[in-house]
Structure 1
Amino acid sequence: MPGHVLFLNWRDTSNREGGGSEVYVERIAAELVTQGFHATLFCAAHRDAPAEETNPAGVRIVRRGGRHTVYLWAALCYLAGALGVGPLAARRGGRPDILVDVCNGLPFLAPLWARRPVVKLIHHVHREQWPVVLPPWAARFGWWIESSVAVRIYRRCRYVTVSEATRRELATLGVPPEQVAVVHNGTPELPRTDAERAPFPLLVTLNRLVPHKRVEVALQAVAALADELPQLRLVVAGQGWWESHLREVATELGIADRVDFRGFVTEEEKAALLASAWVALTPSLKEGWGLTIVEAGAAGTPTVAFREAGGVAEAVVDGRTGLLADDLDDYLKNVRTLLHDHELRQEMGAQARRHAGSFTWQVAGKNFASLLETADSPRRVQRRGEPSYLVP
């Protein structure tokens, strides 16, 4: 069925606030290009990239609007394209045959304005994040949009998510499980590195520095283990507006000299960092999958994460490729266990490498293409008793 697929996402990977969602969207789009699709990504504009470009994988990227206005710009550009003008006009690559509406809390509400099939891509439900990042009134409004309004607007659309955990949680919002397909992330190929395991206990956490990533937990782990492991160090890789607060916490805990806030790291730097770390920490409140977990696994590094943090319970095979914690005390205990038990750490690292290798972008791309082939228009008229979609 190859045609033109339009992805709507609030950011792209060149955006300084981009993360795993952006990696997933662009890698899937790139795989679709290899299968004969034309792929366009519409996202917010930012200072680090041009308004329009085609990336090396052949995905056209259109950037308009900002953090909050990209949603309106998407609708306006799509409707203008129907009139033959603007960046989404037919002369600029063909009118989209299908839209993939990526929901990072707030969706683009494409079924309201797009007369094409719409697939809703959601990495995880944001129930826990809203009150962490927004004032109470705004958090309640955002959750109402995500959990009620959006569910109704997308009721006839196919859904795709990256973990069974999210599929189950969507069911609690009223989205039938048979309407949701799971397409896992692939494991990104890290550049080759000559880096070796550090001769001292080294922890690493790769995150956007925002409250719901809970990097404070990683800092608390260092503080709790500092006396028994005098050489213990932590590298915090990533950037974000929460960094100043995290630096203050490190100072308050008396571990500022043990924590390296590395900021943005290149793929080469990330590969070296993961290869040299003893343990990777993912203390996030919620993840759809946990891309950094399998990246660490590809480097033979086990991860400690929280059991109730969504898809991480699938990215980490508890007791085999890392350890899952039930609460903060359990988290600190698991970090201590891995740092002290060399043989266990080595065995889990080897298992993590094999587990990470079982997820490929090629398979993910083929599964996503199959999903697109069965997507139908959200405006179609259903017969009474007819299921919205049948997902194998």
Structure 2
Amino acid sequence: MTDAGNGHVLFLNWRDTKHPEGGGSEVYLERVAAELAGRGHRVTLLCQAHGTAPAEETTPQGVRIVRRGGRHTVYLFAALLYLSGAVGLGALAGRRLGRPDLIVDVCNGMPFLSRLYARRPVIALVHHVHREQWPVVFGPRVARVGWWIESRLAVRVYRRCRYITVSESTRGELAELGVDPERITVVHNGTPEVVGPAVARTPHPSLVVLGRLVPHKRVELALRATALLATELPTLELVVAGQGWWDEPLRRLAADLGIEDRVRFAGFVTEAHKHELLCGAWLLLLPSLKEGWGLTIVEAGARSTPSVAFRSAGGVADAMSNGETGVLVDDEFEFFRAIRSLVLDGRRRTEMGTAAAAYSQRFTWAMTGANFARVVDEHLPAAQPLADQRVP
């Protein structure tokens, strides 16, 4: 048996933070993995290969990253690497790694289904349920299959496993799918440390959208709101920070709306540049269809910048205090009205920003890591017999 704090934990995730499409879920994974490594665990992350990223590397925090396969084949590689002989990951992963003592299976819509082949305890990590995203990203046929896998098959496969999620909203959605709420532990995101000196607000009204440029982030709503506001506020500026394959359609829409001179597509931004943007912006806009947490809301809040987001997105309701640190809306017209109201009301905006800064301090990565490590330690073989989680 393995003692708590001295086990080999294998994370299965389709991306890492260096992936061009990596986002908040990858940041979460990186931080909790580093925390586990710092507590004496041996930590491995298996994710898809991409670009010029090395097939294997070890981070300064001691997390070993193994990159194999592509967007879809990484799931196959996960099974092959685990099943490749008595040394588990050895034959295909490079040097001997040994079998993990526990697997954290990250279910980003498409799960790894590791419980079907791994004779080790499995924790299912779910940031959010993808019900609304499947038809946006894929056609109707693929969407139906994907949703069946996520909502029916995965629930069956992981029915004896502990779940971790990042918000009460996702916990509720998982319960609706049939997951026993008693098996779901909420471990919130932390707030990235604020680095660099304070940056003054822009002298002109400024909005920022921060995230991957993909359809379900619905940056179009921010563009349309900007077009309407620009007729009243001619100096208004919207900064779209991030990259993704939906970049060109968004640029075309900005041109069609006649707001090319009001929108700046910043592309990928460094942490220092992100700090400047979040400090200088009057408001953060998060029109996303679905979020497990809403990391950018808390990041903006740490810089005293309030946010406007959609209530139906789920986890954003945990990342802000509605009406105090930001505003949650129900439709696009309310989205526009909330933005306009806050842009024109400097006093309310400042009060919300102050409250947002205080609220963000509730969430630290140290606390996140400690809570996650507690769940891991409870489910290592020394704490829980292997047979308790096997699928018959």
Q: TM-score range by the shorter chain?
A: over 0.9
Report what 1:240 is aligned to: 244
In the alignment, is the contact (CA less than 8 A) between 1:99 and 1:118 conserved in 2? yes
Are residues 135 and 59 of structure 1, via their aligned partners in 2, closer, same or farther at CA, if it must alter by over 3 Å?
A: same
Identity of aligned residues (%): 62
Contact 1:88 1:95 survives alignment (8 Å): no
* 1:231-283 Cα deviation digits (max 9, x unpaired): 00000000011111101111111111111111100001100110100000000
Q: Which one of the candidate residues 17, 27, 33 is aligned to 2:31? A: 27
Counterparts of 1:103 and 1:381, CA distance in 2: 18
* 8 A contact 1:15–1:48 mirrored in 2: no
Task: Determine whether 1:266 maps to 2:266.
Answer: no
Deviation, structure 1 residue 81: 5.6
2:123 to 119, 124, 138: 119
Matched, 1:173 2:174: no
Match of 1:385 in 2: none
Aligned partner of residue 111 in structure 2, secondary structure: coil
Which consecutive segments of 4 or more residues in structure 1 shift more than 4 A?
Answer: 376-379
1:86 and 2:94 are equivalent in the alignment: no
- Tell me, yes or no, if structure 1 residue 56 matches structure 2 residue 64: no
1:57, distance to aligned residue in structure 2 (A): 1.5
Would you say the 8 A contact 2:160–2:389 is kept in 1? no
1:41 aligned residue (39, 45, 70)? 45
SS in 2 for 1:160: strand
Q: How many residues align?
A: 381
Structure 1 position 148 matched with structure 2 position 156: no
Distance of 1:336 and 1:81 partners within structure 2:
61
- Residue identity matched to 2:388: R
Taking the aligned partners of 2:47 and 2:109, their CA distance within structure 1 comes to 15
Matched, 1:281 2:285: yes
CA distance in 2, matches of 1:62, 1:15: 13
Secondary structure of 2:360's partner?
helix
Q: Is the 8 A contact 1:43 1:61 kept in 2?
A: yes
Residue 351 of structure 2 corresponds to 347
Across the aligned residues of Structure 1 and Structure 2, the Cα RMSD in angstroms comes to 1.5
Matched to 1:113, the amino acid is Y
Q: Which amino acid aligns with 1:125?
A: V
2:127–2:166 CA contact under 8 A, matched in 1: yes
Residue in structure 2 matched with residue 231 of structure 1 by the alignment: 235
Distance in 2 of aligned mates of 1:259 and 1:377 = 56
Cα distance, 1:48 vs. partner?
Answer: 3.7
* Equivalent residue number for residue 109 of structure 1: 113
Partners in 1 of 2:247 and 2:111 — Cα distance? 27
Asked if 1:219 corresponds to 2:219, the answer is no
For residue 326 of structure 1, report the CA deviation from its aligned partner: 1.1
The correspondence for 2:132, drawn from 121, 128, 131, is 128
Taking the aligned partners of 1:381 and 1:216, their CA distance within structure 2 comes to 44
Extract unaligned runs of 5+ from structure 2.
none
Unaligned 5+ runs, structure 1? 383-392
Q: For the residues of structure 2 that align with 1:178 and 1:211, how far apart are their CA atoms?
A: 34
Distance, in Å, in 1 between the alignment partners of 2:52 and 2:361 is 32
Letter paired with 1:323: V
Q: Which residue of 1 aligns with 2:78?
A: 74
The answer (yes or no) to whether the contact 1:297–1:353 under 8 Å persists in 2 is yes
Distance 2:35 2:28 in 1: 11
Scaled by the length of structure 2, what TM-score is found?
0.94
CA shift, 1:190, in A, is 3.2
| TM norm structure 1 | 0.94
SS at 1:257 equivalent: coil
Structure 1 residues 381, 154: CA separation in 2 closer, same or farther (over 3 Å shift)? closer
Does residue 206 (structure 1) correspond to residue 210 (structure 2)? The answer is yes
**Residues 104 and 123 of structure 2 are in contact (CA less than 8 Å); yes or no, is this contact kept in structure 1?**
yes
Aligned counterpart, 1:8: 12
SS at match of 2:91: coil
* Matched residue, 2:196: 192
Secondary structure, counterpart of 2:312 in structure 1: coil
In structure 2, the partner of 1:332 is: 336
Aligned-partner residue type, residue 196 of structure 1: A
Flag the 1:8–1:265 CA change in 2: closer, same or farther, 3 A.
Answer: same
Q: How does 1:284-299 map to 2 (within 5 A)?
A: 284-299=288-303
- CA positional deviation for 1:379: 4.8
Alpha-carbon distance in 2 for matches of 1:269, 1:193: 12
1:34 CA displacement:
1.4
Quote the Cα distance in structure 2 between the aligned partners of 1:348 and 1:133.
Answer: 34
Residue 185 of structure 1 and its aligned partner are, at CA, apart by 0.3
Q: Which residue of 2 aligns with 1:380?
A: 388
- Output the CA distance in 1 between the equivalents of 2:48 and 2:366: 27
* Cα distance change of structure 1 residues 215 and 203 upon mapping to structure 2, 3 Å threshold: same
